[in-house]
Amino acid sequence: MSDAAIHPIRFILSDLDGTLLHPDHRPSQRTVDTVRALRAAGVFFSLASGRPPKAMLPMVETFGIDIPVAGFNGGTLISPDGSVLVAHHLPAEAALIALALFSAAPDVETWVFADGDWLRRDLPGPMVQRETDGLGYGPVVVESFEPYLDRIDKIVAASLDTQRLIELEAQLQPRVQGLAQVSRSQPVYLDVTAMLANKGEALKTLAAHLGVPLEQTAAIGDGGNDPAMFQVAGLSIAMGQAEEAVKRQASVVTGSHVEDGAAEAFERFILSAGLR
């Protein structure tokens, strides 16, 4: 007898980019239909993303989500109407350390998310258009990040040089230990958030809000910020294109996002198991 049969899944927390969405930042009709089938079957469904909350709202509408979702890697929980329920800001000490390290790195763009805005200081680099396409809006140019130090939601180092971000992650981790979370949400993005701003905490908070035991939850994702929820979910699913280190921390591995791997996993491991 499968674990899904013993503990039928009642709540799914899903990553967005690289999981539910194709490279063009849109979900397939199959994925949309499968999420709707889950909700029709009585399964709660929500999102946990590194995206700012306002960049998640179009997907909340697309999938018909009617429970809170988690932005900024779990640092901010919002209701479907966009109102903020919980917000965990990055300590100023950790922000200063990260900003100093990233600003000194060549070929790395440094962004700050605060007050609902995406902020940048320097001339736009090649990553700005990519992020604009994904979020659906562009950055606000500021002279300094200093006025925002007491309310930063997330700092991002963005670069097409993935190895450079891996090196920065290794350098930053010990410097902000106990102060901040450091993870690569995608190979080209290195995120810095508050300690409680992680998808594992988001899953626990949302499951408690819904009254669902953790053994009846599922988590699915592809990035370095997703194992935090894998570690607490009853069922954890890694996308096929995820790095091996991410796959090793999941219960099962499905197809890639271009193969509609999320829909495949929902159909195979949750809908089929729950409807037997």
Q: What is the pLDDT of residues 262-274, one digit of tens each?
A: 999 999 999 987 5
Same domain, yes or no, for 96 and 152? Answer: yes
Q: Is the pLDDT of residue 2 over 50?
A: no
For residues 13 and 218, is the Cβ–Cβ distance under 8 A?
yes
Same domain, yes or no, for 64 and 140? Answer: no
Q: Which of 127, 159, 194 is the last residue of a domain?
A: 194
Same domain, yes or no, for 14 and 83? Answer: yes
Range of the domain at 7: 3-87+197-274
Same domain, yes or no, for 218 and 243? Answer: yes
Mean pLDDT of the chain: 93
What pLDDT was estimated at residue 6?
53
Same domain, yes or no, for 202 and 78? Answer: yes
Number of domains in the chain: 2
Q: Which of 166, 194, 222 is the last residue of a domain?
A: 194
Same domain, yes or no, for 71 and 98? Answer: no
What pLDDT was estimated at residue 79?
93
Confidence class for position 276, pLDDT limits 50, 70, 90? very low
Same domain, yes or no, for 173 and 205? Answer: no
The CATH number of the domain where 146 resides is what? 3.30.1240.10
Q: Which of 174, 194, 214 is the last residue of a domain?
A: 194
